[in-house]
Amino acid sequence: MTEGHHWHPVPGVQLGPVAAGIRKKERLDLLLMVLAPHTRVGAVFTRNRFCAAPVQVCREHLAQGTPRALVINTGCANAGTGEGGLMDARATCHAVATQLGIAFQSVLPFSTGVILERLPMDRLLAGIAPAHAALSGDCWQEAAQAIMTTDLVPKLASRQISLAGRTVTVTGIAKGSGMIHPNMATMLGFVATDAVVDAAVLQKLTAEAADLSFNRITVDGDTSTNDSFLIVATGQAGHPEITSNASPGYAELRDALFEVSIALAQAIVRDGEGATKFITVRVEEGRDESECQKVAYAIARSPLVKTAFFASDPNLGRILAAVGYAGIDDLQVEKLKLYLDHVLVSEHGGRAQSYEEAAGQEVMKQKDITIRVVLGRGQASTTVWTCDLSYDYVRINADYRS
């Protein structure tokens, strides 16, 4: 959901997107984001143990001070680069800090792109002054373009709400297309608001927003080395501070942050490398959310399920097979029901009497499809989003470095 024509600038956030030639000539690939003093930041990062140098430096700097600037490059992930990669990430922060006249620890670096390659530091550092010169509050669309790798479209979402008579804006950008799986994905997401919110409350909201959005998507089951998601709150809106979940305006702000995060996450799946279908996998009546998630992800990351959807082939036994190997040892298959949108496909351990393949075929042709599995075991449920797996996925990932 790219809201290119309906986004709103966020007071207290300046953006400087430039083409630094990091990997390809004349494409936006470096973004400087400058934050007003006293901005609060919530952050969550990848759980991949091979996490990239910028993630390590971000964690160090968040523990030491108040962020004033983010520097984001595409084209090179600065991951799997050892001590040299850490030196490069820190040198980038020093250059930005010098350019802006702020503390080194108040700069957070982010990188995305090819793994196992060092950053082209000469070009990256040469891009910082132009990015500073380009700073503007009105270039969110260009900022979304500047963080793309294999993405086909920029991802941008925006909402406005009213808190205590003040207009509060929530606007975010994200990138991600392949190597997408929870915790999080090859995913960078940056959401900004001018709301006035306590730092601890913001961190909790950031983690919750990630769990409801970026941690519910899978394109290919690969978890990246660089995933980062930030919510920054500049505090410029001027309403009374939100200090707890009982504060006036908390629920409205939470809902707006969640809506923007989910819109960005779903945009990543819709832009999954070579994707032609957007698939919602909903698992209901599980004993707990954990077992619902096991089933949902078994379906959502099965290459056989995903290729069947690409072909619009209702070979739906593949879904039942995925449910069967999801790891619920005491699953009673005769209690399970499988639906494709509104069409009941399977019940009582076999094909539903009412099911006709022509009905399944009609649903499979749609761009948006819901797989619903009813386990008949309890009250828990969960939803994840995925896409099909096409010839183009292989082509894009085979040709990625060339």
pLDDT in tens, 165-194: 999 999 999 998 655 554 433 689 999 999
Q: 13-270: which CATH topology?
A: L-amino peptidase D-ALA esterase/amidase (3.60.70)
Q: 278-398: which CATH topology?
A: Ubiquitin-like (UB roll) (3.10.20)
- At residue 402, the pLDDT reads 53
- At residue 49, the pLDDT reads 75
- At residue 186, the pLDDT reads 60
Strand 30-35 to 40-45 pairing: unpaired
CA 374 distance to own-chain centroid: 27
Q: Where are the domains of the chain?
A: 13-270, 278-398
User: What stretches in the chain show pLDDT beneath 50?
Assistant: 1-4, 182-185
- At residue 357, the pLDDT reads 94
Look at the chain and count its residues: 402
Phi, psi of 65, rounded to the nearest 5 degrees? -165, -175
Give the single-character DSSP code of 49: T
> Considering 186, 193, 206, 280, which one is annotated as catalytic?
186
* Whether the domain at 13-270 and the domain at 278-398 fall into the same CATH topology: no
- At residue 3, the pLDDT reads 40
CA distances from 320 to 187, 298, 315, 387 (A): 30, 10, 10, 18
CB distance 375 to 301 below 8 Å: no
Specify the 3-state DSSP secondary structure of 387.
Answer: strand
Whether 186 sits among the annotated catalytic residues: the reply is yes
- At residue 308, the pLDDT reads 94
Return all residues near 364 (Cβ < 8 A) that are at least 6 apart. Answer: 308, 309, 312, 313, 314, 340
Torsion of CA 5, 7, 13, 17, to 10 degrees: -30
CB distance 272 to 219 below 8 Å: yes
Spatial strand order of the sheet with 368-374 comes to 350-351, 343-347, 337-340, 368-374, 278-286, 380-387
